[in-house]
């Protein structure tokens, strides 16, 4: 499991720097900008992400014939494999020097048989994915962990209805509010939703078939 390599350096008092308490990472995850903070929010809420770490490793690479080194912003493990991620503002697409360096870095990762991806602000903050992630993350704390009785009731409900809506599950469980009843299940990975559609009463919910037997 990759461990943190680089220490956070404060270059400007205007920068957003902090630590995010992640359930998936089982600890604190660092961020050094608002874009990185938003990226961490997306990772924490994404149902396909299993684990992630900040500044996980350092690699040596060659750029324009000169030796250099690089520390990626994040390492991410998903159900489909793992990759290293660099988080950048959208302005990088207009900077040929940065793009050239990132291309050399991508080649170096390829030579190591590892995946490398670039995420920009517009992709990270795409609507409604980002808004849904922020909403779900509000319910990832221990105070909102679904009770065993509610979890069993929800699973029994899905055995008869492979896919349902948020409002139907809310009515079945007779919870307080729609958000407080449904979103904790999603925050703790027990029920899935489509993050590409803004959460509401008509949001489609399901439990993957391979999890129903657990």
DSSP-assigned letters across all residues of 136-186: HHTT-SGGGPPPHHHHHHHHHHHHH-SEEEHHHHHHHHT-SSHHHHHHHHH
Mean residue pLDDT of the chain comes to 91
DSSP-assigned letters across all residues of 35-72: HHHHHHHHHHH-TTEEEEEES---EEEEETTEEEEE--
Domains of the chain from N-terminus onward: 18-124 (3.40.1350.10), 140-211 (1.10.10)
- Rounded CA-CA distance 49/78 in Å is 4
CB-based burial, 87-101: b 16+ in 10 Å, e otherwise: bbeeebeeeeeeeeb
Q: What is the pLDDT of residues 36-45, one digit of tens each?
A: 999 999 999 9
Mean pLDDT of 199-211: 85
Q: What is the pLDDT, as a whole number, of residue 208?
A: 75
Q: What is the pLDDT, as a whole number, of residue 212?
A: 46
Q: Which residues pair with 20 in a beta bridge?
A: 29
Model pTM score: 0.88
């Amino acid at each position: 499991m990759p461990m943190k390599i680089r220490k956070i350096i404060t270059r400007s008092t205007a920068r957003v720097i902090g630590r995010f308490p992640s359930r998936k990472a089982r600890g604190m995850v660092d961020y050094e900008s608002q874009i990185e903070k938003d990226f961490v929010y997306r990772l924490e809420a994404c149902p396909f992400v299993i684990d992630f770490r900040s500044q996980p490793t350092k690699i040596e690479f060659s750029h324009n014939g000169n030796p250099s080194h690089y520390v990626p912003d994040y390492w991410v493990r998903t159900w489909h494999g793992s990759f290293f991620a660099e988080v950048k503002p959208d302005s990088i697409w207009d900077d040929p020097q940065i793009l050239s360096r990132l291309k050399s870095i991508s080649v170096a990762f390829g030579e190591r048989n590892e995946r490398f991806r670039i995420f920009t602000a517009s992709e990270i903050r795409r609507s409604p994915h980002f808004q849904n992630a922020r909403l779900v993350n509000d319910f990832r704390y221990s105070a909102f962990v679904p009770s065993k009785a509610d979890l069993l009731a929800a699973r029994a409900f899905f055995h008869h209805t492979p896919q349902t809506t948020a409002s139907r599950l809310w009515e079945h469980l007779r919870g307080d509010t729609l958000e407080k009843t449904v979103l904790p299940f999603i925050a703790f990975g027990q029920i899935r939703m489509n993050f590409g559609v803004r959460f509401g009463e008509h949001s489609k919910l399901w439990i993957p078939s391979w999890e129903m037997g657990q």
